[in-house]
Amino acid sequence: MRVIQGEIFVWDAHLARLQQGIAAFGLACPEGLLQNCLETAKTAGEDALLRLTLSGGHAPRGLIPGGERQAAVHIQAWPYHPATEPLALRSVHWPLSGMSRIAKFTADYAFTIRLLHQARHAGLLAEHEQALFTLGEEILCMETANILLLVNGEWLTPDSEAILPGVVRQALLESGVLRASRCPVDWLQVCDAMAICNSGCFIRPVAMVNGRPLDVHARHFAPLFAMLAGKPGVAAQL
């Protein structure tokens, strides 16, 4: 999450998603999370990137009986620095079909890192490229963000349980500037523009996908920027 001048964009949505995820492990969110996040972020400056991690605590061999679990909170923060290089994506097959991703789990990170390492080792993903995960003939998501596609003048995002329900993505959907839809891989050859969205960059245009240059002119992204502009916890310059 970005913490900008002491505010987090739609914190309640982050908290609800986190609670839904850790409930699967028999855990509950401790009190005072927001205040702890804001205090930690302050040490990194007025515009900070923050990672909030909850675990079941410490135990021999990592095994904790259900009745003894208590959420342990780990908060990291560092100054936010926007990416300046053009974003290039390359399709990579996501092999876990049918896996629902209601929240980010440690296992997700480990699996994703291993998958990316294998793709780079096999020459499927160049060093300057980042992965665009696909499943069968469907577009899913980027490594760390949701995907947005401009098709026939309408911004669309993949609708699948296999993608993480991003907080920024949900805000765009609720505003009506974005619609969830089946997004076939073929659209990568015909879409007018692409972007990624997450709670770090908010909106970032994609300059190239599978070697195909994309139009990154600001006019395409204006509706997305306009929806977020001026909201608490959103950067002044998107």
Question: Which pLDDT value is given to residue 238?
Answer: 81
pLDDT in tens, 111-134: 889 999 999 999 999 999 999 999
| Average pLDDT over every residue of 216-224 | 96
pLDDT in tens, 36-74: 999 999 999 999 999 998 887 777 776 766 666 778 899
Residue 165, pLDDT > 90, answer no
Radius of gyration of the chain (CA): 18
Question: Which pLDDT value is given to residue 67?
Answer: 67
Do 37 and 12 touch, CB atoms closer than 8 A?
Answer: no
Domains of the chain and CATH, by start? 2-79 (no CATH), 88-228 (3.20.10.10)
| Average pLDDT over every residue of 204-232 | 96
Hey, what amino acid is at 114?
R
Q: What percent of the chain lies above the pLDDT cut of 90?
A: 73
Distance CA 222, CA 122 (A): 38
Residue 93's pLDDT band (cuts 50, 70, 90):
very high
Matching residue, tokens 């990170």: 109
Do 228 and 234 touch, CB atoms closer than 8 A?
Answer: yes
Question: Which pLDDT value is given to residue 106?
Answer: 67
Question: Which pLDDT value is given to residue 107?
Answer: 66
Residue 208's pLDDT band (cuts 50, 70, 90):
very high
Angle formed by the axes of helices 11-23 and 33-42, to 10°? 120
Round the average pLDDT of the chain to a whole number and report it. Answer: 92
